[in-house]
Amino acid sequence: MLKQRNQIFKLGAVLFALITLVACSSTSESDDAMDASQGSSTSNSSSAQSSAASTSGQLTQEQIRAQNAIQQTVFYFDFDVAEFQAEDRQTLVYHARDLAANPNKRVRLEGHADERGTREYNLALGERRANGIMNFLIVNGASRSQLEVVSYGEERPAATGSNDQAYSRNRRVEIVSR
């Protein structure tokens, strides 16, 4: 049983490395990664995949980037809009890869809405937003069984107050590790 899990883990690590490689070669951001690699932060990498990836400095750098990216777990939405914001796309790709690399990891996608509009509609909107992120994570490598969606509608605001600033903080999906 333990051995089996180990194999899955290894497979995931290899997969992660492959995906990262493909991703790096297909983006134009590798220049930034090269510049940053001159810094001292490379040695701080303590990721579980280090044995698979340590052969390349560029990959390690990418891992740091991935580690940093998945620190962001809250994603905001425009009013009445169910699609996440374009600038969060890459971060969500990192989340998907992290899930793919860690098949035992389970997360909950908690969808929220601001207080405008009726409560039941907001409950549905929160779910629509969380579903949008769930589908994106699946397309990018996460497994359906790792993901649970729950909508709180407008019942659990992140900010109180009836103003645009509070509203923009309340329209969100939170990725919560289980």
Partner 1 sequence: MRKILSVLIVFVISFSARAELSIQITQGIDNPIPIAVVPFSWDGAGVLSEDVADVVVGDLEQVGEFRALSPGNMLSMPSEASEVFYNDWRTLAQDYLLVGTINRAPGSQLVQVQYEFFDVNRELKLAGEVLTGSVAQLRDIGHEISNIVYELVTGTRGAFDTQILYVVAENEGTEYNNFRLEKADYDGQRPQVLLESGEPIMSPSWSPDGQDVAYVSFETDLPRIYIQNIASGQRRQITNFPNINSSPVWSPDGSMLAMVLSKDGSPDIYVQNLNTNELIRVTDHPAIDTEPSWSTDGRSIVFMSDRTGQPQIYQMAIGAASYEVERLTYDCFQCMKGAFLPDGVNLVHVRRETRQSQYQISILNIETLRVISLTSTSLDESPSVAPNGSMIMYATKFDGRGVLDAVSIDGRVKFRLPSSRGDVREPAWSPFFN
Q: Give the binding site for partner 1 (CB under 8 A).
A: 115-121, 123-125, 127-128, 149-153, 155-162
Sheet holding 172-177, edge to edge: 74-76, 172-177, 107-112, 147-153
Q: How far is the CB of 137 from partner 1 (least distance, A)?
A: 16
User: What is the number of residues in the chain?
Assistant: 178
Residue 173's beta-bridge partner residues?
75, 111
Task: Please give the Cα distance from 175 to 114 (Å, whole number).
Answer: 18
Q: How far is the CB of 124 from partner 1 (least distance, A)?
A: 4
- Closer of 18 and 139 to partner 1 (Cβ): 139
- Closer of 51 and 118 to partner 1 (Cβ): 118
> Dihedral (C-alpha) 84, 90, 91, 96: value to the nearest 10 degrees?
90
Q: How far is the CB of 82 from partner 1 (least distance, A)?
A: 10
Which is nearest to 131 in space by CA: 155, 118, 148, 107? 148
Other Cβ atoms closer than 10 A to 76: 17
- Closer of 91 and 151 to partner 1 (Cβ): 151
Handedness of CA 174, 18, 44, 36 (dihedral sign): negative
Task: Please give the Cα distance from 20 to 143 (Å, whole number).
Answer: 18
- Closer of 103 and 117 to partner 1 (Cβ): 117
Q: How far is the CB of 39 from partner 1 (least distance, A)?
A: 37
Q: How far is the CB of 60 from partner 1 (least distance, A)?
A: 38
- Closer of 9 and 121 to partner 1 (Cβ): 121
